[in-house]
Structure 1
Amino acid sequence: MSSLRETVPWQEEPDDGTDGPVVPSRDGAAEDIRLFDGAMDPAREEGLLAGLELLGADAARGAQLDFELLRGWQQHVLHTPQPSAFRNLPAFAKKGRERYGIAPDTRARLDACLAESSTAGGRSLPLAARAARACLDVCFFHPFEDGNARSAFLTLLFVLAREGVALNDVGLLRRITFQATDPQDALILARYFDAHLAETRRGAACPGS
């Protein structure tokens, strides 16, 4: 995963100056959870909304994004009595077409990748690229035995929330399947985010339109 991650041409994602606080006309993430996840299972909706509330508080206090933070959200997402542990066996997805290995340093490598979602250090990518990359880090490191897609979604929202950004629609970010072996898929996710962000900005500038 780490070697493939480095082949993604993140520099192709333009820095269009959209970084900065964005207040949406509605809470698109919570709305999508209620409509999409709630239709599948009320418990799934409840868990994701609890995770969403917790990540908002974590973002407000400037928490560091790492596995320890993820497992706190995941406890609510999966309704487990204790925070979820990092998986200790290889994992599979897409009916076995994708395999995620495990090594003694897998968790440490995930933490190192997630740390790059911050602007600390002076050399960072635009927000869209950082949010997309963190989301896919969770998808393809696959740290949990279950609920990794939900964890990845919350991760993306946290990266945005930490910089005061929220969206009034998240549909494109949740309805598309991405391939672990295709570097261009990462850029597609970033561009979907850009599309939602532009629409959110328009709505904020013209409320009621």
Structure 2
Amino acid sequence: MLTWFLSRWGVAPLVARELVDEAIGGRFESWTGPDIVLVDDVAEQLALSVRPDDTAPESGAPADQLERWLAVRAAVPWQECPDGGGDGPVTPSRDGAAEDIRAFDGALDVARAEGLLAALDLMRSDAAQGGPLDVELLRGWQRHVLGTAQPPEFRIEPAFAKGGRERYGIGPDTRDRLDACLAESSAEGGRPLPLTARAARAYLDVCFFHPFADGNARSAFLAFLFVLAREGVALNGVGLVRRIRVRADEPEDALALARYAGCHLAETRRLASR
């Protein structure tokens, strides 16, 4: 039905089939109706993957999303991001991150949720020590995210997403560049950016550096939470942050992510003050 719908609106049949297969991802386990969370996720994945030019074949290699992001990253007015209602630690009235993982990831795959919850616990332990955010920390969390015996290695080849339509380049200094970007999430030195901006920027750094073969969105989510947790901040909710789609070459998308983080933080502070 989804393939027919895309074909009806001009998406090339082969492209439509690939988009639907990618969105569903083999997650229908029987002929019974799927969970509503799974339906929502399939619809979102399909909607985000469709572009106006899917009606015509592409020519040439896709643009490097990492280089696009690095150009945009330097131009985003991060200082203008909301601060989420003030500085200082805040304890939420409920664990929004864990609740979202159980509800969303748990509906998609129980093992996925269990792995991400284990990574969340480790991330919070690391944040309590107050150290820097770097690739080695990401690798430690990612072992639980992916359920591997050893921490996964940083990729050594170009990465692709959305059926090869998005490419993330690689160079001899890519890992070092990511470490340098993640180091900027700290509040130390000079005039630090708002916490929401630093957390959102770290999230996008991980997304567009695309360090691992799989699970990069979950790794980015953990990096986002780490930047907050290192300064004693947790959130009542994370849904806006986890559901937004951000394009590498759109500064407004990056600001929107920071604003959503600010909304969640402001609401957390409001409820905590009661």
The two structures have a TM-score, normalised by structure 1, of 0.95
> Residue 98 of structure 2 corresponds to which residue in structure 1?
30
The equivalent position to 2:81 in structure 1, one of 7, 10, 13, is 13
1:16 Cα offset (Å): 6.5
Gaps of 5+ in 1: none
In structure 1, distance between residues paired with 2:133 and 2:203: 11
Q: Which amino acid aligns with 1:138?
A: V
Deviations 1:19-66 (A, max 9, x none): 210110000000000010011111101110001000110010112100
Change (3 A) 1:155 1:13: same
| C-alpha deviation, 1:94, in angstroms | 3.2
Task: Tell me: higher relative CO, structure 1 or 2? Use CA pairs within 8 A at least 6 residues apart.
Answer: 1
For 2:85 and 2:266, locate their aligned partners in 1 and report how far apart those are by CA, in whole Å.
11
Deviation at 1:9, TM superposition (A): 1.8
1:93-145 deviation digits (Å, cap 9, x = unpaired): 23433211000000000000000000111331000000000000000000001
Q: Compare 87-96 and 155-164 and name the one that shifted more.
A: 87-96
The secondary structure found in structure 2 opposite 1:92 is strand
Letter in 2 for 1:78: L
Number of aligned residue pairs: give it.
206
Cα root mean square deviation, aligned: 1.2
Aligned residue in 2 for 1:137? 205
Q: Distance in 1 between matches of 2:202 and 2:232?
A: 17
Partner Cα separation in structure 1 for residue 188 and residue 85 of structure 2: 18
Query: Are positions 1:184 and 2:252 aligned together?
Result: yes
Equivalent in 58, 69, 86 of residue 137 of structure 2: 69
Structure 2 residue ranges without an equivalent (≥5):
1-66
- Overall identity of the aligned pairs, in %: 73
Secondary structure of 1:109's aligned partner: helix
Q: Which residue is 1:107 aligned to? A: 175
Deviations 1:119-172 (A, max 9, x none): 111331000000000000000000001000000000000000000000010000
Aligned match of 1:147 in 194, 207, 215? 215
Q: Aligned to 2:155, which of 46, 69, 87? A: 87
Deviations 1:163-207 (A, max 9, x none): 00000100001111111111111110000011111111111112x
- Give distance in 1, aligned partners of 2:72 and 2:161: 18
TM-score normalised by L of structure 2: 0.73
1:177 to 1:16, Cα distance in 2 relative to 1, 3 A: closer
